[in-house]
Amino acid sequence: MPSKYDWPAAEKRSLIGKRINRLDGLAKSTGRAKYSYDTNRPGGLTAKLLTSPYAHARVTKIDTGEAERLAGVRAIRVMSPVGTEVQWQGYEIAAVAADTEEIARDAVRKIQVEYEVLPHLVKEEDLSKAGNRTKPSGENTQGNPDQGFSQADVIHEGFYGANVITHCCLEPHGQVAEWDGDNCTVYASTQAVGSIGRELGKVLAADPATANVKPSNVRVITQYMGGGFGSKFSPDRWGIVCAQLARQAGKPVKLMLDRDQELLMAGARPSHFAKVKVGAKKDGTLVAWESESWTTGGMSGAGAAPIPYVIEIPNRKTRNIAVSTNTGPARAWRAPNHPQAAVLTMCPLTDLAAKLNMDPLELFLKNVSLSPRGDVYRAELLKAAELMDWKAKYHAPGKGGNGYLKRGVGLSIHTWGGRGHDSECRLIINPDGSVQAQLGSQDLGTGTRTVIGIVAAETLGLPLSGVQVQIGDSNYPPSGGSGGSTTVGGVSASTRRASVKALDKLLEAVAPGMGTTADKLVAVDGRIQVQGDPSKSLTWKAACAKLGTKAISETGRQPARDEGNLGDSGVGGAQMAEVEVDTETGIVTMRKMVAVQDCGLIIDLKTAESQCYGACIMGIGSALYEEKIYDQQTGRMLNADMEFYKLGGIGDVGEIVVHMMTRDYDQRGVIGLGEPPVISPPAAISNAVFNALGVRIPTIPITPDKVLAALEKGGMA
């Protein structure tokens, strides 16, 4: 049923779907944007954490006396009292707030802690060394795998994996906390303005020192935040202690994690390793799959990745084992479990294609009908092949050139949900013509602010500058946390509905004076006019002036039954990578990536494309450079810094081509985009390296040492 809330038809859109600059671009690029880390409150203190150097230990003694006596120290909290069993390096032991950062660091060094060191496990790639730290975590059988394999003409078996990586948000986790009586304001670097305050309030209410605090007493403000990628959804132990220190000291306190702490404990993406067996008919039709996988996300292990990924091979059996390790705990990492699933699926399928003497593109085209979106994948694969010039570049594995530099191409496909989360928008039209859209949402850098502005402006017939977008404050109407690519669907729908309702009110107010009825009026080009008769019109300002002294304030909600179907869930996506491998040094160089992506109706094409470019670059990092490297002997992370926890630089990412599927796809309404394009790069790149060399580097990241080792094993060094 068509509804007045529906998105305007393509030919009527003046802003939606165009390439539009982000609203806060200049604030960011001129350094005016204030992040939590930049929030200097009057009289504010700086807090630093003392963390455990051991992967597994019991605290046997803790003495803060000397630290307390240091001039300039204002408050100390012990977070792990005697008897606490710490389970990973970086675990919080105590926190100090002091007049300056330097004094806080000195004080942390003066806290004396003794530990009883306990045995640890920090590595899981070799399951045979995991001892009693494993437990089954998911088993599933579909069809008849034994029968499936008996029908296969070709069977491939192999080992594949993805190591643990970390989020490495450039703005570390942390916040500033400031009290006024029993009310606490928290300037937090968070993905969930709406929920972390309540969660923090609950914890504070349970503390005798802050027993009067109610969850609603905590206000969270996040105007700008420097990256989250799934790791910033909780108030966290450091957020709680920050509020407690501020209370104790009677002054605002800033506590931001140091870089090593950030990398040790503030987020990890679980590893995923698997022994895979997959079978196909001579013509490439996939018939059977069997896998035994294992994974760790720290102490709690981790769940199974969705394998076989995207392509639902009819006869399949999967078994997963969770390994508990003494490493910083896992947090959702952009598209949780999907990038690993892509590696564990698209790599063996490519190896199987090699055994069949088939171009993997043909194998995928043949089998995407086993996915829920076969036609979409077919179209996307063909588009990607065209943009990559796949036909010209593809060669049999290992035939990547005669010299020491070998070139190759590889591909992968992916999927994601991305349905909009719950959201409320308050849309205010003032008699002076100004407009505010208020939501308790947050902009992680995806362009949320801009998307809200575009939807409101489009609906009200205004230029983008005619709408003030007010977000990043828990005092605004609640909107969901920004995770799982749910934000754009949520805020665009609630904003659309609020804007339609507010406009209706305005039209009702001005219709009598214009000698007509509200249903005959439209808002277009900054005017309210009689439909089909531009001569009868009012400027937006003049129309709003008719409101007298009373502003219009309307609320729109997502979901809202009977108020239009504005979004959907489920996207595809295909990517191809071209690499050059130096067989003497083992270094893999990116030449080109192609990302073809659908996501329903695109609100801002420019920021949507940026999501894809950024996702490819992040994916290149995890394919080639990133790994949390632990040493089993000492239990320590060897690269808790940015020298050796490597991110790719501007010269490392090659050429990137992004193609958004638009025409016809917009019928589905808005679907989230943040996660899907980050899924395929590691698998596509690994496959490109395989194509170049003819040997498989089984795990990502594909570092030079692994390339050289694989070449040696393959007799090619």
Residues that bind ligand FES (CB under 6 A): 170, 227, 445
Cβ 48 vs Cβ 79: under 8 Å: no
Q: Report the distance separating Cα 654 and Cα 704, nearest Å.
A: 18
Nearer to other proteins, 169 or 249 (CB): 169
Q: Which does 638 bind (CB under 5 to 8 A by kind): other proteins, ligand FES, none?
A: other proteins
DSSP secondary structure letters along 154-168:
EEEEEEEEE--EE--
Cβ 573 vs Cβ 619: under 8 Å: no
Nearer to ligand FES, 297 or 445 (CB): 445
Nearer to ligand FES, 127 or 647 (CB): 647
CB of 642 to ligand FES, least distance (A): 7
Residue 615, both tokens? 């996702």
Q: Which does 34 bind (CB under 5 to 8 A by kind): ligand FES, other proteins, none?
A: other proteins
Whose CA is closest to 593, among 614, 569, 572? 614
Q: Report the distance separating Cα 695 and Cα 686, nearest Å.
A: 10
Nearer to ligand FES, 156 or 269 (CB): 269
Q: Does 362 bind other proteins (CB under 8 A)?
A: no
CB of 525 to other proteins, least distance (A): 24
Q: Which does 597 bind (CB under 5 to 8 A by kind): ligand FES, other proteins, none?
A: none
Contacts of 72 (CB under 8 A, 6+ apart): 98, 99, 100, 103
Contacts of 54 (CB under 8 A, 6+ apart): 86, 89, 115, 117, 120, 635
Per CB under 8 A, the list member of 95, 225, 266, 335 interacting with other proteins is 225
Query: Which range, of 28-36, 81-89, 194-202, 548-556, touches other proteins by CB under 8 A?
Result: 28-36
Contacts of 667 (CB under 8 A, 6+ apart): 601
Nearer to other proteins, 318 or 325 (CB): 325
Per CB under 8 A, the list member of 5, 7, 37, 540 interacting with other proteins is 37
| Residue 102, phi then psi, degrees to nearest 5 | -65, -45
Per CB under 8 A, the list member of 1, 9, 392, 650 interacting with other proteins is 650
Q: Report the distance separating Cα 506 and Cα 512, nearest Å.
A: 11
Q: Which residues 245-274 are close enough to bind other proteins by CB under 8 A?
A: 258-259
Q: Does 169 bind other proteins (CB under 8 A)?
A: yes
Cβ 437 vs Cβ 416: under 8 Å: no
Nearer to other proteins, 363 or 615 (CB): 615
Nearer to ligand FES, 227 or 463 (CB): 227
CB of 227 to ligand FES, least distance (A): 5
Nearer to ligand FES, 105 or 110 (CB): 105
Cβ 82 vs Cβ 60: under 8 Å: yes
CB of 509 to other proteins, least distance (A): 37
Q: Which does 710 bind (CB under 5 to 8 A by kind): other proteins, ligand FES, none?
A: none
Q: Which residues 477-536 are close enough to bind other proteins by CB under 8 A?
A: none
Q: Which does 618 bind (CB under 5 to 8 A by kind): other proteins, ligand FES, none?
A: other proteins
Nearer to other proteins, 465 or 549 (CB): 465
CB of 654 to ligand FES, least distance (A): 18
Per CB under 8 A, the list member of 4, 12, 34, 282 interacting with other proteins is 34
Secondary structure (3-state) at 706: helix
Distances (CA, A) of 205 to 174, 221, 333, 391, 478: 21, 20, 31, 64, 22
Q: Report the distance separating Cα 536 and Cα 522, nearest Å.
A: 11
Per CB under 8 A, the list member of 51, 223, 340, 446 interacting with other proteins is 446
Cβ 111 vs Cβ 98: under 8 Å: no
Distances (CA, A) of 606 to 17, 452, 596, 657: 9, 14, 15, 14
Whose CA is closest to 680, among 268, 391, 291, 344? 344
Q: Which does 259 bind (CB under 5 to 8 A by kind): ligand FES, other proteins, none?
A: other proteins
Q: Residue type for 453, please?
A: G
Q: Which does 582 bind (CB under 5 to 8 A by kind): ligand FES, other proteins, none?
A: other proteins
Per CB under 8 A, the list member of 82, 117, 170, 717 interacting with other proteins is 170
Q: Report the distance separating Cα 485 and Cα 493, nearest Å.
A: 14
Q: Using only C-alpha atoms, what is the Rg of the chain?
A: 28
Q: Which residues 43-72 are close enough to bind other proteins by CB under 8 A?
A: 46
Cβ 257 vs Cβ 173: under 8 Å: yes
Phi-psi region of 636 (alpha: psi -120 to 50; beta: other; left: phi over 0): beta
Secondary structure (3-state) at 407: strand
Q: Does 431 bind other proteins (CB under 8 A)?
A: no
Per CB under 8 A, the list member of 13, 18, 28, 546 interacting with other proteins is 28
User: What is residue 192's DSSP assignment?
Assistant: -
Query: Which range, of 142-150, 335-343, 535-543, 701-709, touches other proteins by CB under 8 A?
Result: 701-709
Per CB under 8 A, the list member of 273, 625, 630, 690 interacting with other proteins is 625
Q: Which does 629 bind (CB under 5 to 8 A by kind): other proteins, ligand FES, none?
A: other proteins
User: What is residue 676's DSSP assignment?
Assistant: G
Q: Which does 349 bind (CB under 5 to 8 A by kind): other proteins, ligand FES, none?
A: none
